[in-house]
Structure 1
Amino acid sequence: MENNISADCIFNLPLPPLINAIEVYTVIEFPQVETSQNDVAAIKNIQATYQLRKISWQGDPCLPRDFSWENLGCNYTDASTPPRITSLDLSKSRLTGSITPILQNLTQLQELDLSNNSLTGPIPTFLANMKSLSLLNLIENNLTGSVPQALLDRKKEGLVLKLEGNLNLCTLSSCKPKEKTKFLLPTIASAASLVVVVVVAFIFVFLKKKVPLDLNTLPSTATVDGRHASQSESSFLSKKIRFTYTEVQAMTNNLERALGEGGFGVVYHGCVNGNQQVAVKLLSQSSSQGYKHFKAEVELLMRVHHINLVSLVGYCDEGENLALIYEYMPNGDLKQQLSGKRGRFSLSWENRLRIAVDAALGLEYLHIGCKPPIVHRDIKSTNILLDQNFQAKLADFGLSRSFPTGNETHVSTFVAGTPGYLDPEYYQTNWLTEKSDIYSFGIVLLELISNRPIIQPSREKPHLVDWISFMITNGDITNIVDPQLHQNYDIGSVWKAIEIAMSCVSPSSTGRPNMSRVANDLKECLMSEKSRVGESQDMESQSSMYNSRDITEVSPKAR
């Protein structure tokens, strides 16, 4: 029997036709390492500051080359060197507000075009400190004031500086509003008279009521960074020992002995009152950190006190001369100790666990013992200092932020921190929580265990977290632990420490423990190691690198 099915019959079937297909995927290798994390953080902060809505601004700014971000140029040295951002064109991008200081974090930027926007305020001096900058286009904005002399000097050296179209901008560094000067002295005199009358009235009323007058409640007239400061800005100025710059020069013997250098500036050795050793950190004029970070650190260290936080001895706030004066930490920072730059001794496993416990207790105090809680935001091995007894103390609080209480779960803020230690969830969402500190602490703990670089492009897995995860999968713990320990450790405590660290660096903040849990677990590791070595009653035995301390700490108290 012959089956004849007409075309009309096919189209009248109850089910639609089926089309089968095969999806084929191919792996595309990208031999080039990712863009410099400092540049990535900077450009994303710039994007957030100006609320830029550019479709192409997603993923890695410079890679792949054919899909790099629009209006952004990069240089590509070789496959093992991270690309750097060298040009940024934000012309006609509807920018408003002032020129953001985040731009100076693009340290390799050669060309910057901010023309045809609605930017206001003065031209900031930091632009002159961007050494790689060869073109600066500020045409057609609403900038005011005079051009900084340092920028005019750069123009003489070859910088292409375009300023046309800013009607209220004076292109001479000597510009001064002469018409207003004749009114300046009468205005000051009137204001001063008013202040005197108010103060006298206050004194009269309080004396009449026999109520003691607290002079600290009077309005402040301190000048901060060349501007009139509000009471909230200058309230910290009288609460701690304040040194003049002449005194700073004297205590450091004219800045004779440099101890190191960081993002803030150079740290010098000094001596106060003839016998108290101090570390004096001077703000560098080219530093990306300014008065805001300086003030934040002074105020925080006056408010919080803990045995595992570095103590502030005083500060200097005199014009452009800013200095923080700390207790001296003779054994440097943890990074130096692990690298062997501070002496021939290698930290034992017990020593490393003690340092980890100390740092954990300092962080626990910030997160739990302070009201409101504080997030450090820059936990790393160079910010963990060691005193004469190798007791660890957290330092560098310029980026610290108070954490919300109540129903709020996070702070939305610009990303800040150090590449490698930076919480990837915070980096992606700009949501800051105390779990961001815990991620960074987990990286430090992996450093203590392995003594290996955080990021090493030549390694099979460049980031330390990925590399250790790979080694754990293969069960190869001996190659994780620092060879300088010569397998002189309790294997159980090492495994537990690795587990603690890996829980801290969980990709999701919800999977990370709190700092109290971390501190308690590390104490257990330390007790296990002490049991192995059979610690004697003499807590200052000759074989110990520093005085042993009881690991049971009092719970942190709120300040």
Structure 2
Amino acid sequence: MSGCQRGFSRMEKKSPHSKQVHVRTGITLVLLTFVLINLLLYFYLDHHFSPWHSSGDPDICPVGSFKMGSMETCLPLLSCEAMRKEVRRLKLVGEGAVKKVYLGEWKERKVAVSQLTSMELQDDFLHGLEMLKALQSKHVVTLLGYCEENFTILTEYHPLGSLKDLEEKFNLPRFRSFNTWPNRLRLAVDYAAIINYLHNSPLGTLVMCDSSDLDKVLSQYLLTLDFRIVANDLDALPLVSREKGQLVKCGHRQLWGEFVAPEQRWPRGEDMEFDDEHMPPYDEKTDIWKIPDVCDYLLGHGEGSDIIRLHLFEIHKECKKRNPAERPSAQTVLNTYKHLLMSLLKDSAAPEVRDML
């Protein structure tokens, strides 16, 4: 047998092993790509969920301007005149105590037009407008314009609406692929990030007061088409200042139920009639008490949700401490959620890839 033939014979004998090597190499490349994506996700989360974004963030426009969707440059907020001339109302899509919301159109883009419902509530409406102007970030719906003369606010339109009926939205054929435990946990991360942003906002420590029950909380936030959460309704955001001894009360009516924090309930029993003047004020830790309930709703009951709940048991137990001072900060909750997300994503990779990390 010639040398050439012997060499070819050896190659034939090695070919099965060679194929196995190629297969393993291919699998390793796929897994490495998976890990790389997760690492990129980690840096994205670390940036996206910081308490606030620096002025150098290219996605955040300077004060008094906006951009949305595929827009590359920031435009000045629309004035009263521009809104009258350029914005067309299409239909009513929502109504609350303070405002009605219409689907509108501006330069072939869908927008949301909010209109004051009653002059008696104009202070709440204008407070919400001031909060929208001051808190523009990735955590808050994009403000496009406003007109104080006729009590109108223009914001970016999100067709999926609020967080209510989340299961129905996940079940839409277009979005079924989003119904996974990582995406649901990311929604919880989003929610914790918004609460953390409000507690560490440029204005100081703000409390999300419009949150007397779960449905009310869910109505305050919008779901984007890529299944992220942004705060939308900022009409009731009082300021806490421990330095000035300034605490808050969420309205002047008695609050009931296990959803609201213990310190928000009338402390003198059923035998004594509620009296707002004798109702003690409280701080932002009322928001922390509600996080486990909102998270439980966001996680749903799909594959992997019970495992996530088990991992979050301890932090949620801390959130439900009756003494507000013993509850964790929103930053601590956010850090726990983010760490769990990255840890579970890492654990879902193959053992040989985990060994390389």
Smaller-chain TM-score bracket? 0.5 to 0.7
Aligned residues of 1:399 and 1:416 also touching (Cα < 8 A): no
CA distance in 2, matches of 1:395, 1:419: 25
1:303 aligns with 2:123: no
Q: TM-score, normalised by structure 1?
A: 0.41
The answer for unaligned runs of 5 or more in structure 2 is 1-75, 212-216, 267-278, 351-357
CA distance in 2, matches of 1:374, 1:327: 23
Secondary structure of 1:324's aligned partner: strand
2:156 to 327, 332, 343: 327
Identity %: 26
**Counterpart residue number, 1:530:** 345
Structure-2 change in CA distance of 1:335 and 1:532 (3 Å):
farther
Structure-2 change in CA distance of 1:499 and 1:259 (3 Å):
farther
Structure-2 change in CA distance of 1:330 and 1:340 (3 Å):
closer
Higher helix share: 2
**Counterpart residue number, 2:30:** none
**Counterpart residue number, 2:37:** none
**Counterpart residue number, 2:328:** 513
Q: Deviation per CA, 1:59-87, whole angstroms, max 9, x where unpaired?
A: xxxxxxxxxxxxxxxxxxxxxxxxxxxxx
The answer for unaligned runs of 5 or more in structure 1 is 1-238, 451-481, 536-559
Secondary structure of 1:282's aligned partner: strand
**Counterpart residue number, 1:292:** 123
Q: What RMSD over aligned residues (CA atoms) do the two structures have, in Å?
A: 3.1
CA distance in 2, matches of 1:534, 1:424: 42
Structure-2 change in CA distance of 1:393 and 1:242 (3 Å):
same
Aligned residues of 2:299 and 2:305 also touching (Cα < 8 A): no
1:389 aligns with 2:204: no
Secondary structure of 1:334's aligned partner: coil
CA distance in 1, matches of 2:235, 2:172: 29
Aligned residues of 1:435 and 1:512 also touching (Cα < 8 A): yes
Secondary structure of 1:290's aligned partner: helix
Structure-2 change in CA distance of 1:430 and 1:267 (3 Å):
farther
**Which of 497-506 and 399-408 deviates more?**
497-506
2:113 to 274, 280, 285: 280
Question: Mapping of 1:424-439 within 5 angstroms?
Answer: 424-428=262-266, 429-439=279-289
Q: CA deviation at 1:430?
A: 4.1
Q: CA deviation at 1:491?
A: 4.9
CA distance in 1, matches of 2:194, 2:115: 25
Q: CA deviation at 1:493?
A: 2.6
Secondary structure of 1:259's aligned partner: strand
Structure-2 change in CA distance of 1:498 and 1:361 (3 Å):
same
CA distance in 2, matches of 1:532, 1:395: 35
Code of the residue aligned with 2:261 in structure 1: it is D
2:143 to 309, 312, 331: 312
Query: Relative contact order, CA 8 A, sep 6+: which one is greater?
Result: 2
Q: CA deviation at 1:382?
A: 1.8
CA distance in 2, matches of 1:492, 1:528: 13
Aligned residues of 1:376 and 1:399 also touching (Cα < 8 A): yes
Question: Mapping of 1:123-142 within 5 angstroms?
Answer: none
Question: Mapping of 1:81-480 within 5 angstroms?
Answer: 241-243=78-80, 247=84, 251-253=87-89, 256-272=90-106, 274-285=107-118, 290-318=121-149, 321-340=150-169, 343-344=172-173, 345=175, 347-379=179-211, 380-406=217-243, 408=245, 410-411=247-248, 414-415=251-252, 421-428=259-266, 429-450=279-300
Q: CA deviation at 1:257?
A: 2.6
Q: CA deviation at 1:265?
A: 3.3
Aligned residues of 1:378 and 1:440 also touching (Cα < 8 A): no
Aligned residues of 1:377 and 1:400 also touching (Cα < 8 A): yes
CA distance in 1, matches of 2:295, 2:102: 28
Secondary structure of 1:388's aligned partner: coil
CA distance in 2, matches of 1:444, 1:268: 27
Structure-2 change in CA distance of 1:333 and 1:502 (3 Å):
farther
Structure-2 change in CA distance of 1:424 and 1:491 (3 Å):
closer
Q: CA deviation at 1:385?
A: 1.0
Secondary structure of 1:378's aligned partner: coil
Q: CA deviation at 1:307?
A: 0.8
Aligned residues of 1:403 and 1:433 also touching (Cα < 8 A): yes
Code of the residue aligned with 2:296 in structure 1: it is L
Q: CA deviation at 1:423?
A: 2.4
- Report how many residues are paired: 254
CA distance in 2, matches of 1:328, 1:413: 28
- Highest CA radius of gyration, 1 or 2? 1
Q: CA deviation at 1:409?
A: 6.3
Q: CA deviation at 1:514?
A: 0.7
Secondary structure of 2:312's aligned partner: helix
